A and B are shown apart, each in its own frame.
Chain A
Amino acid sequence: MRNSIKVERAIKNLTQEELAEKVGVSRQTINAIELNKYIPSSVLAIKIARFFKKPVEDIFILEKND
């Protein structure tokens, strides 16, 4: 699964830390998600999507091998 958090963050002009604070996780978590090293739980994915006011699937995109 890939995601467009970095792009969304750039649009809103937010740092990883600011986004992490808004959705209530650590900076490491946002960093690991952006680097595709960690797939967030559905709860966190929905929280992130809600924060960006977009459907979850606009931000988290399934890939062929998923």
Chain B
Amino acid sequence: MKSKYLFPNKWKKIGIMILVPGIILFLLNTFLNFEIKGLEINVFSLLNPETDSNVKGNFVWLNDNLTNEIAMILFIIGGILTAFSKEKNEDEFISKIRLDSLVWATYINYILLILSVIFFYGTPFLVIINLNMFTILVLFILRFNFILFQGSKKINNEKFN
């Protein structure tokens, strides 16, 4: 059983190396408003309601610091590579754990979102939405690797009978 949609095994390490700085930068930016200086450039904005900035109208150029854009892209690319690179010995059982974990992560993700819809309003809800973009990937990575780790631990104690 071979999946067509997985990356080669060695990309997982690259993924982790992209994901970790992505998460750190994203959290610093989201919760401490950290921005890397000198990243202000003119960007093309498709939709720009007048309340957003002093530049009005759609399809306009405006000045923006790219820190959060970079953080999000690193987070997504790193997360995808970490989640969907083959294991060293990807086989049918690991594919099953992969599928189960993906279903599990999707359920938990949307349960958390429903709870957030009920219990958060206004700006805090926007922060939740911002975080919710990544929870499905993070939940999947944690669950999938936890199950794999559990499986390998049991085997270390394995003896005949």
Contact = CB atoms under 8 A, between A and B. Distances in A.
Chain A interface size range: 20 to 34
Given A17-B155, A27-B152, A41 B160 contact: no
A15 B99 CA distance: 28
Interface string B146-161: 0010011011001011
A40 B154 CA distance: 19
Interface residues of B, number: 17
B93 A38 contact: yes
Interface in B91-149: 91-94, 96, 148
Contact of A25 (B91, B148, B155, B160): B91
A14 B90 CA distance: 22
A46 B128 CA distance: 50
Given A17-B155, A26-B87, A28-B155, A6 B161 contact: yes
Contacts of B160: 6, 9-10, 13
Interface of A: 6, 9-10, 13, 15-17, 20, 24-29, 31-33, 38, 40-41, 44
The 6 residue pairs across chains A and B that have the minimum distance between CB atoms: A28-B151, A29-B93, A26-B89, A25-B91, A10-B160, A27-B155
